[in-house]
A and B are shown apart, each in its own frame.
Chain A
Amino acid sequence: MPKTVVFRIKRQAGPDERPYWEEFEIPYQERLNVLFCLQTIQRNPVTRLGKPTSAPVWDQSCLEEVCGACTMIINGVVRQACTALVDELEQPIVLEPLTKFPLIKDLMVDRKRFFDDLKKSKTWVAIDGTHALGAGPGCSQELQQIRYALARCMTCGCCLEVCPQYGPERPFVGAAVLAQVRLFNLHPTGAMQADERLEEMSKPGGITDCGNAQNCVRVCPKEIPLTESIAALGRQMVGYGLRKFFTKS
């Protein structure tokens, strides 16, 4: 058992600043997660060489892998710091920020584009209003299970980080947004706007930009059936194409 834990952390004071690396060493305890290590470093930010420094900045909220905030690259793998257990990691533990989003500082990035793409995809049910209109449509237990599995996407961005088609200069919305489109097209009322969503996803940046590399599904912490969803959406797209062709002619 190692008595300490060594971290190598990529630092960068802002998007236009020069990046550099710093190493930290903290006492080992059982059941340490990376996030608590960061909190420990924050309490007394001194590098391994004994030089006082500022604490690295990162994003966090729930500490139980349900908010998606603390996503970063840990030993080369994109994941959440709160569920990354030190006992399962090789040292030094290397921490880097996500690379596909604008950097705020150190390990913190701004995933605003992800939310904007959700806006484009119209992934909501267009309800008539919030007044009392009675129960929603009935739903089988099977459909509920399928929808629930998709609905657990916490917008963390792991799937986008590893996607060869996704990047700041490219329009592709990525696997998570496509899975959300499937989620809403599966809802009995949501399905009424299915064609609007499919229309959006047939544009550049939509489903045809997916190169089917399947990296996304391997890193999703919530085991969301991403490639299965992209395939399902592909089939919907075919139907939509035909409908569009016939209504136009």
Chain B
Amino acid sequence: MSERAIIVVGGGLAGLMATIRICELGHPVKLFSYVPVKRSHSVTAQGGINASINVRGEGDSPQIHFEETIVGSDFLANQPPAKGMCDDAPNIVYLLDRMGVPFNRTPEGNLDFRGFGGTLYHRTAFAGATTGQQLVYALDEQVRRYEAEGLVEKYEYWSMQNILKDSEGRCRGIAALNMPTMEVTAFRAPAVVLAVGGPGLVFGKTTNSMINTASAVIRAFKSGARFANPEFVQVHPTAIAGLDKRRLISESVRGEGGRVWTYKDGKKWYFFEEMYPAYGNLVPRDIASKVIYDIVVNQGLGPDGGRYVYLDVSHIDDDVLRRKLGGVLEIYEKFMGEDPYHNPMKVYPAVHYSMGGLWVDYSQMTNIPGLYAIGECDYQYHGANRLGANSLLSCIYAGRIVGAPAVEYAGQELPEIPDSTLAEVVGREEQAFEEVFASDGEQNAYQIQDEMGEMMDRDVTIVRENAVLDKVAAELEDLDARAARVGLRDRGRRMNAEAIFTRELRDRLLYAKMIVKAARAREESRGAHYKPAFAKRNDDEWLKTTLVDYSAEELKISYEPVDISLLPLRERRYDVKH
């Protein structure tokens, strides 16, 4: 395929949608992915996708969706793009419906919608409890159609290593690793779209997939791409603990009527319903996680003193559960060995999603011309806290709107970048791998990963304290120094998972440092960022987006104003209806 093709890195919902749009405009795409795109992390999404179609005649509208998204974001999301997303949401769900997604239906045969966090409307379209999987498959099929037409060329089991830049600082392609052969190749492209997903592994055991390595965004960051709001990390209130990961029990379980409780004074205490009479079990995630943390950790009220609370659906009809939540309950059953249909589930908060990501403008372009970012790896739509079922939406929306500007950008005539530039980047990447292959220190990369993950999960999630963050920052420096002294066991030159992991570990440590630094700096509480010492939102000083730029000496933090041109600031309350 020609060097005219636009490169899309990542084949989750965002990358697949971007690929479809670019092809639809007649432009070829080279699609790179760690795993075959159909296995991307997006398949794990359970609950659904928001669109104010108002099937139930409740008076819902895209404007209300927009306002709830902004209030949910604690006013940190730029308002015009969030409005664009909510306005387009009905079109997106209709488009997915036309592609054949088996969305659940009403008796009349219309799309069915369910309740979700942060809203009192039934706004979430869903396909059983494996919505993400169904959406990925639908988009994957459309991409396959373009692949059959010769417009898409897939590079699966390839890992992006870096971006190529010309002398003017524009992005002109990527360098990528063919993982089975461990060879690095440079690819020219007139534009590059990053759709590489979130940074789950920075926090060790989370609800995320093993391929959420945080590496690709960090490589772009180190090459000059600006980051925004890294301190805003969503902790989901209801997950189950496993040895290998935390498995999500979707918010849709509460959307369908699931109730959360624990014992207090020997009686069942439905604490959300008591504390938030208006929204009850559907308070947004930042609030729900904080409450559960307080009840379990500070008040010691987990059942039998355990680190969990109950999530209960046993009052709901088995058949309804099977039809609407089967996929989630199956996960509980398989991994916990208990029947969730008739016994309350044991759940506890877990790291889930990153609101922060690469900084982008309203056309999804990063600060590097020719480099775009979409999906969970951009920062644009969710501010300080994302509402449930808004992520699949923002991924697809961003993929949809990036197509036209990327194709237009790709149409300009630019002087050819010389082969020597390509050779130089490939040489640098090869050199970095050679250093990994030669490493024979006393440290174990997986051990360092575990220590980093446990520390980040313990100290940098629901509650943040400056003194603790300072300690974490110092500890991260220490881990980074140790990561430079790893000993490699596998020196084979084929699909060397250990070498790849070892190199990416340093990327994750840098990502962690960025989160800690930005969190340390922000002296207020907003959305998912909560500091007891600064317990309130402080709009006078902190209604601003955090920006981070890379430099080898020190990460540079600055701020820019949030675009609040459409909805005036207000207090965020969920005990009463707003």
With a cutoff of 8 Å between Cβ atoms, the chain A residues found around residue B489 in the complex are 45, 52-55
Q: Which B residues, 258 to 307, have Cβ-Cβ distances below 8 Å to chain A?
A: none
Task: Tally B residues with Cβ within 8 Å of A.
Answer: 72
Tell me if B342 is interfacial: C-beta within 8 Å of chain A. Answer: no
Q: Which B residues, 318 to 332, have Cβ-Cβ distances below 8 Å to chain A?
A: 323, 327, 331
With a cutoff of 8 Å between Cβ atoms, the chain B residues found around residue A91 in the complex are none
With a cutoff of 8 Å between Cβ atoms, the chain A residues found around residue B104 in the complex are 141, 144
- Contact yes or no, B244 A35, CB < 8 A: yes
Tell me if A133 is interfacial: C-beta within 8 Å of chain B. Answer: yes
The stretch of A57-65, A164-172, A212-220, A225-233 in contact with B is: A57-65
A112 → B minimal CB distance (Å): 7
Query: Majority SS of interface residues in chain A?
Result: loop
B359 → A minimal CB distance (Å): 26
A63 → B minimal CB distance (Å): 5
- Contact yes or no, A184 B44, CB < 8 A: no
The stretch of A1-9, A116-124, A202-210, A239-247 in contact with B is: A116-124
From B38, B100, B247, A187 is in contact (CB under 8 Å) with B100
Nearest neighbor of A33 in chain B, beta-carbon distance: B244
Q: Which B residues, 93 to 142, have Cβ-Cβ distances below 8 Å to chain A?
A: 94-95, 97-100, 102-111, 127-128, 130, 133-134, 137, 141-142
Give bound CA distance, A67 to B495, whole Å. 20
The stretch of B143-151, B222-230, B521-529 in contact with A is: B143-151
With a cutoff of 8 Å between Cβ atoms, the chain B residues found around residue A110 in the complex are 157, 180
From A43, A108, A136, B98 is in contact (CB under 8 Å) with A136
- Contact yes or no, A154 B109, CB < 8 A: no
Tell me if B492 is interfacial: C-beta within 8 Å of chain A. Answer: yes
Give bound CA distance, A104 to B494, whole Å. 8
Tell me if B335 is interfacial: C-beta within 8 Å of chain A. Answer: yes
With a cutoff of 8 Å between Cβ atoms, the chain B residues found around residue A14 in the complex are 494
Tell me if A115 is interfacial: C-beta within 8 Å of chain B. Answer: yes
- Given A55-B498, A108-B495, the answer on whether A66 and B133 have CB atoms closer than 8 Å is yes
A79 → B minimal CB distance (Å): 12
Tell me if A158 is interfacial: C-beta within 8 Å of chain B. Answer: no
- Given A130-B24, A135-B111, A140-B109, the answer on whether A54 and B98 have CB atoms closer than 8 Å is no
Give bound CA distance, A133 to B128, whole Å. 25
With a cutoff of 8 Å between Cβ atoms, the chain A residues found around residue B531 in the complex are none
Nearest neighbor of A133 in chain B, beta-carbon distance: B98
Tell me if A68 is interfacial: C-beta within 8 Å of chain B. Answer: yes
From A135, A145, A154, B97 is in contact (CB under 8 Å) with A135
Nearest first, the 3 closest Cβ-Cβ pairs linking A and B are: A54-B490, A136-B97, A138-B109
| Known pairs A104-B157, A151-B127 / 8 extra A-B pairs, C-beta < 8 Å | A13-B494, A14-B494, A42-B497, A43-B447, A132-B94, A138-B109, A139-B105, A141-B105
